[in-house]
Structure 1
Amino acid sequence: MSFSENKLTVRSSADLATAVPYLIGFHPGEGSIVVIACRDRRIVFAARGDLPAPGSPAHQLRELTAHLVPVVQRQQPITDLVIVGYGAPGHVDPALRAVGDAFTAAGLAVRELLRVTKTRIFSLTCDDPACCPPRGTPFDPTTSLIAAQATVAGLVARPDRAAVASRFATVDSPGDGIPHATNDATARMAALKTAGSTAVYEAGVHAVRGALRQHDGGTHLTDDEVAWLTVLLTHKSVRDLAANLTQPHDQHVTFWAEITRRADEPLVPAPATVLALTAWRCGDGVLAAMAAERALQVNPDYQLADLLLQALHAGLPPSAIEQTITSTHPSPSIPNPNPNTASEQE
């Protein structure tokens, strides 16, 4: 079994357990469930969710499953699934079987149900002690060839969801820093608006192109440059231009994570949404969803972030809403998205 783009080969359940954090971007905690969709022995999609807590009403697991099944079905064609649960057997095993039965009833072949408990893997679908001993199969991710290959391929598995969020979490600027620069940029924008919307758009073209060029050249933006860019991004035409000019690679994900982190709080939604779209195109559905949530945390009515989040939770590809961005300002074309997508269902 291989990753569709990175050609990492998974030969065993231990390899798969090691690969999961690289598929979803972080190490899943206890109570997590990960559904891995395969097409002709290639991993094409992974979705993570939280199992209901022990003792929760049965309808909560049914609701989780009712959401996961159509999300995975949309990734067709799929040949089979592997479902992995994390935690103690009394909590995880019944839930894994129930989820597996739901996917089977929906016409999707479930190849294997696996439970990961600390450093052991247990198969719920294989009772051959030669390959799946009752006491589980030990594995050590730190010594796995998969971990080494993933690292070389540029894949990252962060410790948890909080570590993903830390990539774009707002930081306090020393002294007046960004707030002072943002006040100056806002005054500058007020003066520019007197020249009309075309002048604002042209300033946006210059600022976005210049900022991306600086980042690609290894130069960090000053507080004044970040403030001016984020003020310009409050205009939809400039934000959409930024989305169009941004390329689907980790360097630009890093760029928009930095802009989101440094932006003055009220100006976070636009760069966070561009970050979400960029991460989504790169196949990082977890980072994309969390960045969209960050935008909505600051402004619950930010429409594009809301559309992005709905599409992500539905397991749709980026092309589902790219027309929304390109229809008004179609200047540069948007590259094809990475088909290897990880999603997270909350």
Structure 2
Amino acid sequence: MSFINNKLTVRSPGDLVTAVPYLLGFRPSDGSIAVIACRERRIIFAARGDSPAVDAPASHLLDLATYLVSVVSQQQPITELMIVGYGSADRLDPALTTIAETFTTGGMTVRELLRVTGTQIFNLTCDNPACCPPHGTPFDPTTSLVAVQATAAGLVALPDRAAVAARFAPVAGAGRDGIRRATRAAATRLKALSAAGSRGGDEAGAQAVRDALRQHDGGERLTDEEVAWLTVLLKRPSVRDLAVDLTLPHDGHVTFWADVTRRAEEALVPAPATLLAVTAWRCGDGALAAMATERALQVDPTYQLAELLQQALHAGLPPSVFEQAIATDATDPGTK
């Protein structure tokens, strides 16, 4: 079984468990449940949720199961599923069984139902002690060929969700002071430019986006003044939409927008954070996309493009659907 453009091959439960962090972008913590959807022996999608606590109301687990089914169903056609839970038997086994039954009731086939506890894999769908002993099967991800293939392919599994968030966490100290001064100067500059002509800001924004991406692609990091000027101009929907069009789905541009998001003044974060989210999503990094979207909405809960992206991510829609939607919204000058 293969995934990510045939970069990795999964042949066993141990391979699958090793591969999950590369699918998600980070290593799942205890309580995580990952659902991997396959089409004709190829992994096409992965979703993750947090299992409710043991003493949580039963409705919480049913809500999680319903949500996962709705998200995965968007990826049709699906030929089979694999579900992997992380943590103790008392918390995970009932949850895994309920979620598997919900998928089965929905007409989908669950091929593997696994629980990972420490360094042991427990197969909840096989009671043959010859291949799936009741005390679990030990695994070491560092010895799996999948880990070697992932490293060779340049894939990274960060330690946890916090490490994902750290990629675009706000800069502090002297770095923050420098950006703050530069942003005040940029705002004054834009005010003067706008007074000189109605399209001055749009034209300057288009040039700033092109220059910034070209500079990054050439290996140069933006100065504080360049970041400030870019983020002030990105408040304009037309400039931000051009940035969406010019940004390419590769890791370099993910890194670029993560850096701009980190350095942007708080009030100016929504645009670069949303651009980071769109770029990460196009690259297949749903975790980073979701967290960057949350960052944008944390600053401005009414930021429409981030709201639209969040809805698409929660629904498990492919980037192409979102891109069609924003192309439609681009005809509305009031969309922000």
TM-score (norm 2): 0.96
**Alignment partner, residue 327 of structure 2:** 326
**1:125 aligned counterpart, secondary structure:** coil
Contact 1:242/1:274 (8 A) holds in 2: yes
2:35/2:82 contact within 8 Å kept: yes
8 Å CA contact retained: 1:240, 1:326: no
8 Å contact from structure 1 (residues 6, 153) kept in 2 = no
Q: What's the counterpart of residue 192 of structure 1?
A: 193
Report what 1:169 is aligned to. Answer: 169
State whether structure 2 residue 310 is matched by structure 1 residue 272. Answer: no
Moved more, 160-169 or 139-148: 139-148
Deviations 1:45-74 (A, max 9, x none): 000000001111101000111111011011
CA distance in 2, matches of 1:3, 1:271: 30
Q: CA deviation at 1:329?
A: 5.9
1:325, distance to aligned residue in structure 2 (A): 3.2
- Equivalent residue number for residue 289 of structure 1: 290
Aligned equivalent of 1:108: 108
5+ long unaligned stretches in structure 2? 332-336
Tell me the distance in 1 between the aligned counterparts of 2:329 and 2:292: 23
1:1-346 matched pairs, under 5 angstroms: 1-174=1-174, 176-327=177-328
Structure 1 CA distance for aligned equivalents of residues 58 and 200 of structure 2: 58
Conserved in 2, the CA contact under 8 Å of 1:244 and 1:326?
A: no
Letter of the structure 2 residue corresponding to residue 145 of structure 1 = L
Q: What does the per-residue CA deviation read over 1:104-135, in whole Å, with 9 as the maximum and x for residues that have no partner?
A: 00000000100000101000001122221111
Output the CA distance in 2 between the equivalents of 1:216 and 1:235: 24
How far, CA to CA, are the matches of 2:94 and 2:330 in structure 1?
A: 51
Partner AA of 2:294 in structure 1: E
Distance 1:311 1:131 in 2: 40
Q: Unaligned stretches of 5+ in structure 1? A: 331-346
1:328 shift after superposition:
6.6
Check the 8 A contact 2:202/2:238 in 1, yes or no.
Answer: yes
Q: Is the 8 A contact 1:2 1:10 kept in 2?
A: yes
Residues 220-268 of structure 1 show CA distances to partners (whole Å, capped at 9, x for unaligned) of: 0000000000000000000000010000011100000000001111110
Give the deviation of 1:321 after TM superposition.
2.4
2:334 maps to which residue? none
Deviations 1:266-318 (A, max 9, x none): 11000000000011111111100000000011111111101101110000111
Tell me if the contact between 2:270 and 2:297 (Cα under 8 Å) persists in the aligned partners.
yes
Structure with higher helix content: 2
Note the C-alpha offset of 1:6: 4.1
Query: TM-score, length-normalised on structure 1?
Result: 0.93
The CA deviation at 1:173 is 4.9
Asked whether the 8 Å contact 2:7–2:153 carries over to 1, the reply is no
The amino acid across from 1:7 in the alignment is K
Tell me the amino acid that sits aligned with residue 232 of structure 1. L
Counterparts of 2:243 and 2:163, CA distance in 1: 26
Q: Of the two structures, which has the highest relative contact order with CA contacts closer than 8 Å and spacing of 6 or more?
A: 1
Write the letter of the residue equivalent to 1:47: A
CA contact (8 A) 2:31 2:87 kept: yes
Residue 210 of structure 2 aligns with an amino acid whose one-letter code is R
CA distance in 2: counterparts of 1:200 and 1:19, whole angstroms: 46
Distance 2:329 2:31 in 1: 43
Structure 1 vs Structure 2 CA RMSD: 1.3
- Closer/same/farther in 2, CA of residues 213 and 31 from structure 1, 3 Å limit: same
> How far apart, in 2, do the equivalents of 1:195 and 1:152 lie?
53
- Judge conservation of contact 1:2–1:8 (CA < 8 Å) in 2: yes
Residue aligned with 1:71, SS: helix
What percent of counterpart residues are identical? 68
Letter in 2 for 1:292: T
Cα pair 2:7 2:149 within 8 Å, conserved: no
What is the Cα deviation at residue 145 of structure 1? 1.6
Aligned length: 330
Structure 2: distance between partners of 1:55 and 1:329:
47
Of the structure 1 ranges 204-213 and 181-190, higher mean CA displacement relative to structure 2 is found in 204-213
Q: Deviations over 1:151-196 (max 9, x none)?
A: 1112110011000000001111516300000000000110111234
Alignment CA distance shift 1:65-1:194 (3 Å):
same
Question: Is contact 1:296–1:302 with CA below 8 Å preserved after alignment?
Answer: yes
